[in-house]
Structure 1
Amino acid sequence: MKCQALLLTLLMVCSLCVVGYIHNQKKEEAQLSKLISFQNVKHRVTKDVMQEYQTHLIESSSLLDKIKKQIQDLAGEVRGAQDVAEGTKNEVDMCNSDLKRIADEAVATEADKTHVKSEFEKKKASFQEQLANLKKEMEQLSKVCDYIKKTSDEAK
């Protein structure tokens, strides 16, 4: 009977060990199940965040491409505006040089006019003086002519 009691005790201890082992395995399974669930949630959240980052990256890339294109367009417009400004500057420089030349010509013409006017005034004064002298001579000749006319044979 001792053998049966010992066998029964041993069977009970083994049963308790198996029950403990099963309980331990269920507990570990529950823990692993929670860990897997947590890892799944973590994976989904990470995936969502990565998709959000990827979407943001794509939007940023497209925005960067648009900005680069706008920069190229604006650079072209700036070059065109600079060319126009340079052409306008050249035209302004030509106009300024023409204006300076015209102003110099006007000054030279004014100087010539003043010179010609002074020469004219000198010649006019000279001619007026000659005219006055000729008028005097004419008056003097008139008296001489009168005298000659009176004393000449033809006058008698």
Structure 2
Amino acid sequence: MFAANGYADTALSDIVAETAITTGAIYHHFGGKKELFQAVAENVEKDILSAVATAATSKKYPWDQLLAGVSAMLEHCTAPDVQRIVFIDAPTVIGPAAWREIEMKYAFGAMQQSLQTLISLGQVRPFAADPLASILLGALIEAAHSVARSEDQARSLKEAREMMRLLFESIKTT
């Protein structure tokens, strides 16, 4: 319901009617509408991470896995439900700083691990993996935001993929 109507236009009573869960149960498990929304938003982040992992495991080599994951994240973020929850409502409802922490919680580990693997293989310049992951993930999240806000998402997605590929190529050693 949050994806279809947005946070502001989704009443707790609508959720109760749609799901047959009592208001008391929602308050007991989540504390309220905002906390329920945060749980939904975190599930969307988990779905994005799952799509990234699926794309990455379809490739044999770590570098190709990284680029496949980047591409999958950008593509997954073109879905209207992801856009509504992740790019429109979550920063406002949860707060920009708290939402940034959630984004980093789900995406940072995967990015850091991929980069650490590539650094240890000598395929990426020997930067410290944590700040490198943070910087590249920040660029990737902003690219996803840009695609989500674009009037021409197909063109924007294609361009964002190419820009991210070039950015990642700049840290490659070979």
TM-score for the superposition, normalised by structure 2? 0.18
RCO higher in structure (CA 8 A, sep ≥6): 2
TM-score for the superposition, normalised by structure 1? 0.20
